[in-house]
Every structure is written in C-alpha cells, then in structure tokens.
Amino acid sequence: MRLIDENGTQVGIVSVREAIMMAEERGFDLVEVAPNAVPPVCRLLDYGKFRYEQSKKEREARKNQKQSELKQIRLMPKTDDHDLATKANQAKKFLLAGDKVKFNVRFRGREMAHPEIGRKMLESVAEQLRDIAVVEQKPLMEGRVLSLLVAPNAKVLKAAQQAQKAKIAQSKASAKTDEPGQSEAPVDAEVEIDDELMEGEDLDNGDFDDDEFDDDEFEEEDFDDEDLDEDDEDEEEDRRS
C-alpha cells in the first residue's frame, strides 16, 4: 500500500504490517482513503476527529442547501382560463424558489363523468410551466382528485440554491455587524445629549428674573414688631400661671 503520514507527507509503498506498526507507535489510526487506487492509499490520522469534521461539513452543506417543499394548488373543473393563468403564475413563483408544486383538480357529483376536462387543464398548466419545470408525475386520478406533480428543472433548482446560500451569507454578515461593540453610535448619541444639556442657552440667567423675588413683596407690615411683642407677653403670662 501507499502510506501517507499524519502530516500529509508520503512515506512511500510499505507493507500492511509496517503501516500498522507505524500507526501504533505514533498513536494514530490506519485509514484506507483510496481503495480503488493501485496500490491502495492509506493514511495515518485520528479517525474520531476525522469523522467529526466530516459530519460537521455535511451538516453545513445540508444547512446551505435549499430544502424543497411541496406546494399544493387546488383547481376545479369550472375554473376559467384567467384563473388558471393566475394559478400558473403562482406556481411559477414556487418553482423559482426551488419548491415542487402539485395541482389537484377536485371533481364533485356529476363532474366525475368528464375527467378529460381536468386532464386538459393540467396539460395546459404543464405547457405554461415547461420552461422552468419538469413533470415528475403525469395526471393521475386518485379518488375524486386528478393530480399533476411538477418540479423545478436543474437550472432553476441550482439558481434557487445559490440564492439561498447568498441569503444565509448576508444574514451572517449582518449578525456580525449587529454584535455588541461593533458600532459606536449609542455612545455618540449620549455625548450629543450631554452637549445639549451643557449649552449656555439652556441655563440662561434671564430665566431667573429678579422680579420673581422682589423685595417689595415682603413688606414691613407683614412682620410687625408690635405683634411679636404681644405674643411674647402672652407666653410670659402663661408661664407665671
């Protein structure tokens, strides 16, 4: 086998026994990474850590992929051409977003005698969407419902997945921008408020007019000495008695 050590350096072609002994001596696992090569390629690595990193990459890949959903649109045999075009346009939005669409034509009572009407409607819808969709299930009668299943073609699906990745990257970038400490705007706002409070016009001396504290308001008659003397005499008589 061809052996690669834990640092990614090629050791060369060695026997299985030599590779196992080297792995045990260095405390690593011997993992076959290219079984179809001639000779097979093995590598020394920590298999537990390797599997953890692989599973982490797979989770990230699944997270970035567009998860296809099934959207259902209901039709009736009496649906006119204008409403049918409206339903087709709505289905086009779902398909461009990477979702599958299932059209259901429901028959009631004597309408069951004319299933060709619903089949013709579904064929018309499929024709309107043929540029962006492929038919996964041809019109199929299930009880009283005639169904057609369409899915986005490879080009549309790829575009939807790329748009999803761009959206995720943008949301991550905005989340980093909104983290505490990234913006100093709140501090600037506080400084502006303090500056406004410290302006001289807010504490104008004219607001404290001398008229509000006019000495004329405190006239002498309000504090008559005679009244005070009489009060003192009354208190003295009370003490004697």
SS (H, E, C) 47-79: HHHHHHHHHHHHHHHHHHCCCCCEEEEEECCCC
Tokens (6 digits) for 96: 């461009």
CA dihedral for 125, 129, 130, 133, sign (positive or negative): negative
Last residue of a domain, one of 113, 140, 157: 157
Q: Are residues 129 and 104 in the same domain?
A: yes
Q: Are residues 58 and 75 in the same domain?
A: no
The CATH number given to whatever domain includes residue 95 is 3.30.110.10
Residue 162's pLDDT is 84
Q: Are residues 30 and 101 in the same domain?
A: no
Residue 190's pLDDT is 40
Q: Is residue 90 part of a domain?
A: yes
Last residue of a domain, one of 107, 129, 157: 157
Q: Is residue 214 part of a domain?
A: no
Q: Is residue 179 part of a domain?
A: no
Q: Span 212-230, mean pLDDT? A: 45
**Domains contained in the chain, number:** 2
Q: In the beta sheet, which residues pair with residue 13? A: 2
Q: Is residue 228 part of a domain?
A: no
Q: Is residue 101 part of a domain?
A: yes
Full residue range of the structural domain in which residue 113 is found:
70-157
Whether 157 shows a pLDDT value over 80: the answer reads yes
Q: Span 126-144, mean pLDDT? A: 92
Q: Could you tell me which of 16, 23, 13, 25 has the C-alpha nearest to residue 44?
A: 23
Q: Span 60-80, mean pLDDT? A: 81
Q: Is residue 175 part of a domain?
A: no
pLDDT band at 90 (very low <50, low <70, confident <90, very high): very high
Last residue of a domain, one of 103, 136, 157: 157
| Residue of 173 and 4 predicted with greater confidence | 4
Q: Are residues 39 and 111 in the same domain?
A: no
Tokens (6 digits) for 185: 């705007």
Q: Is residue 235 part of a domain?
A: no
| Residue of 171 and 86 predicted with greater confidence | 86
Whether 85 shows a pLDDT value over 50: the answer reads yes
Q: Is residue 124 part of a domain?
A: yes
Q: Are residues 49 and 103 in the same domain?
A: no
Q: Are residues 74 and 38 in the same domain?
A: no
Q: Are residues 146 and 107 in the same domain?
A: yes
Residue 35's pLDDT is 86
CA dihedral for 65, 162, 165, 88, sign (positive or negative): negative
The span from the CA of 232 to the CA of 160, in Å, is 100
